[in-house]
Structure 1
Amino acid sequence: MSSELSHHLPPTHTRRPRGPTLPAHRLPDLPGRVAIPAQSRGAPGTPSPLERFNAAPAQDAERALLACLHSLRWALRITGHRPYPDLAALLAAADEATYDLSAKELAEALAAETLPALPEDTYSAAHTALDAAHAAYEKKFGHAFVLCLDGVPEAEHLDRILDSIRSRLANDPDEERVVAADELRRLARARLTDTLG
């Protein structure tokens, strides 16, 4: 084919300009709709715990959250940002809300915490040692000792609690407030995961 003819033939395919593309993990905003990734569920058509949490009346969602961390502002903030597309998004929001607690709100949340439970077969001398360590901690800092034991084998709970109380007694109140706030954040994450995971 001569070069003269090739200039007059239409192209075999046309390229359309592409519009902006979204990264694979992002979806366009669809008012009133949420993309929920496939999750393992019970019977078909049964909503997951997260879907039930997203759809629950605000008071029910707040009540569930207060069982994870006793801070009304924390619970209201997380409830107000529903729906969450997945558990990771909910946990990220919970972390952010925990970091934003004021000193007073942190103190209220700590006041509602209790000492981690020990295994039933723990010997009485261990309870005595734990009671003494906890009393010293509470006297120094004015609130219950909090520690997230998520991922720690039950057989190691007592040793971990005693070691942590004793080492944290060396903290000054400002240092301990930061450590306690982080333990509260971790506790809230573990409780949310247990409840909605």
Structure 2
Amino acid sequence: MQARGAPGTPSPLERFNAAPAQDAERDLLACLHSLRWALRVAGHRPYPDTASLLAAADEAAYDLSAKELAEALTAESLPALPEGTYTAAHTALSAAHAAYETKFGHVFVISLDGVPEEETLDRVLEDIRSRLANDPEDERVVAAEQLRRLARGRLETMLGDAGNCANSPHRAVPGH
């Protein structure tokens, strides 16, 4: 399904398909900071519909090398916690992030699509503690899947409201 503005106004997908390659690549890099991924997704334009673009983005994300995954993880930033989060929660989250980064050598990321804001902190703490039990290769696979989900959500937002992926409400909680 393609969102349309006023009659005669191109949809976000139509604008993405028609954008100069550099602009499309820049928008894609805001969704997932992997140059190869952005070049691949932009290079297969035009997409007939949003589902085709999302499928191509997923496929390209599955092909990230360990180096490309590390590059993408490095670009993720720590979002704000929900208002009213207690100091103790910030301390617990900081300690969990530090333990994760020490063990795996990269930031922790998690897609929180569909998680109510009031459950965000609990979900993050639960997942980071659970994932600390992973071995490095298993965690690389999990982190890659979380990045793919984040990129997909950001693309959906970009196409749904014609905004940039960097302005996405799809929440990620990486390390710091």
Q: TM-score range by the shorter chain?
A: 0.7 to 0.9
Which of 144, 148, 155 is equivalent to 1:192?
155
Structure 2 Cα separation of the partners of residues 40 and 98 of structure 1: 24
Q: Which amino acid aligns with 1:180?
A: A
Give the alignment's Cα RMSD to 1 decimal: 1.1
Structure 2 Cα separation of the partners of residues 40 and 80 of structure 1: 22
Which of 142, 151, 164 is equivalent to 1:179?
142
Identity of paired residues, percent? 81
Contact 1:145 1:165 in 2 (8 A): yes
- Displacement of 1:122 in angstroms is 1.1
1:166 aligns with 2:92: no
1:63 aligns with 2:63: no
Structure 1 Cα separation of the partners of residues 4 and 67 of structure 2: 40
- Displacement of 1:115 in angstroms is 3.3
Structure 1 Cα separation of the partners of residues 3 and 23 of structure 2: 24
Q: 2:108 matched to which residue of 1?
A: 145
Structure 1 Cα separation of the partners of residues 33 and 12 of structure 2: 21
> In structure 2, do the counterparts of structure 1 residues 108 and 130 end up closer, same or farther at CA, with 3 Å as the change threshold?
same
Structure 1 Cα separation of the partners of residues 93 and 131 of structure 2: 14
Q: Which amino acid aligns with 1:191?
A: R
Q: Which amino acid aligns with 1:60?
A: D
Structure 2 Cα separation of the partners of residues 190 and 120 of structure 1: 23
Structure 2 Cα separation of the partners of residues 94 and 169 of structure 1: 28
Unaligned 5+ segments in structure 2 are: 161-176
- Displacement of 1:93 in angstroms is 0.3
Structure 2 Cα separation of the partners of residues 41 and 179 of structure 1: 35
Q: Which amino acid aligns with 1:105?
A: E
Q: Which amino acid aligns with 2:47?
A: Y
- Displacement of 1:41 in angstroms is 1.7
SS of residue matched to 2:31: coil
1:52 aligns with 2:9: no
Which structure carries more helix by proportion?
A: 2
Deviation per CA, 1:98-133: give whole Å up to 9, x if none. 011111111111111123431122111111110000
Of structures 1 and 2, the larger Rg is shown by 1
Contact 2:70 2:106 in 1 (8 A): yes
Deviation per CA, 1:14-65: give whole Å up to 9, x if none. xxxxxxxxxxxxxxxxxxxxxxx7x442210011111100000011100100
Q: 2:95 matched to which residue of 1?
A: 132
- The TM-score with structure 2 as length reference comes to 0.88
Q: Which amino acid aligns with 1:193?
A: E
Deviation per CA, 1:157-197: give whole Å up to 9, x if none. 10000000000000000000000000000000000001112
What stretches of structure 1 move > 6 A for 4+ residues in a row? none
